[in-house]
Amino acid sequence: MNLLVLKSVAEARAWASSARVRGHRVGLVPTMGFLHEGHLSLMRAAGARAEAVAASIFVNPAQFGPNEDLARYPRDLDGDLEKCERAGVHVAFVPDVQQMYPPGAQTDVEVSELSQGLCGARRPGHFRGVATVVAKFFSVFQPHVALFGEKDFQQLQVIRKMARDLLFEVDVVGMPIIRESDGLAMSSRNSYLSAVERERARALFRGLSRAREQARQGERAGAALCETVRAELRAAEVQEDYVELVEPEGLSTVAALEPGRPARLLTAGFVGKTRLIDNLELELGR
């Protein structure tokens, strides 16, 4: 295997710093592992933008709530390392919790406003955990470029803001959502779904797609577009967590689409016990 597997912050820091000294651009893809094509698309895109590519595989306890799935989050380190290597990653960073959170750690990073609504409102502390661990990765690797999926759209905006506010010199790049052939957004959590639930899970993308079509046909009202998604969720017995139309950067609610101003329609829902999220850009047609 050509892939270098590093477990300590010190080794990761040394690798990134020697890459920079050699004049290489450093690209970083943070993940929680159980890798799928969505993750691999980020890694390949990193390879197109940087000569030295690192991917982190770290299930970050700080971003899980007390009643969430930290203990049973799916893991497959051997499979992940093979996939990283095939995707052209040079270094897999697989720290344990003590490496990322030194004993007695007291410091968190909080992106105050962007973290409040949507998933942030339903998962208190989630984005504090995300912003904190990503800030640590940025501190260790000092990457020139870091890639994140639009699948986690609020997370992407939170990280952009965190990087700007904390003066990290990193280009935060958002990448398109990779989907299964029937439209379901790829997610490590899809592995929780039974066959019947997997079928019901299609409602998220189906609802979003119908709303996108409505917008193309000229429907402006946020309420009507959201109701289209809700109807699909109800029909498939997916328990709505939220459906919201928002302005893409500040994530504030959009009451009505306006010509030339794309908005983002975001949803989260429970299929059985599994919480899934998805989103789509909407643009007014005609």
The residues binding ligand AMP (CB under 6 A) are 31-32, 38-39, 41-42, 148-149, 151-152, 175, 177-178, 185-188
Task: Give me the residue whose beta carbon is nearest to ligand AMP.
Answer: 149
Closest to 118 measured CA to CA, from 277, 239, 281: 277
Q: Which residues of 11-33 are buried (b: 16+ CB within 10 A; e: fewer)?
A: bbeebbeebbeeebbbbbbbbbb
Q: Smallest distance, Å, CB 39 to ligand AMP? A: 5
Q: Smallest distance, Å, CB 67 to ligand AMP? A: 19
What is the C-alpha separation between 275 and 241, in angstroms, rounded?
A: 8
Using the minimum distance from each CB to ligand AMP, give the nearer residue, 32 or 131. 32
Using the minimum distance from each CB to ligand AMP, give the nearer residue, 74 or 285. 74
How is residue 117 annotated by DSSP?
Answer: S
What is the C-alpha separation between 9 and 6, in angstroms, rounded?
A: 8
Using the minimum distance from each CB to ligand AMP, give the nearer residue, 150 or 232. 150
Using CB atoms within 10 Å of the CB of residue 231, give its burial: 0 to 12 exposed, 13 to 18 middle, 19+ buried: middle
Q: Smallest distance, Å, CB 255 to ligand AMP? A: 28
Using the minimum distance from each CB to ligand AMP, give the nearer residue, 95 or 222. 95
What is the C-alpha separation between 19 and 264, in angstroms, rounded?
A: 37
What is the C-alpha separation between 208 and 280, in angstroms, rounded?
A: 6
Query: Does the annotation count 90 as an active-site position?
Result: no
Among 24, 36, 39, 126, the active-site one is 39
Q: Smallest distance, Å, CB 209 to ligand AMP? A: 16
Using the minimum distance from each CB to ligand AMP, give the nearer residue, 151 or 200. 151
What is the C-alpha separation between 129 and 108, in angstroms, rounded?
A: 8
Count of other CB atoms within 10 angstroms of residue 272:
15
Q: Smallest distance, Å, CB 188 to ligand AMP? A: 6
What residues are labeled active site? Answer: 39
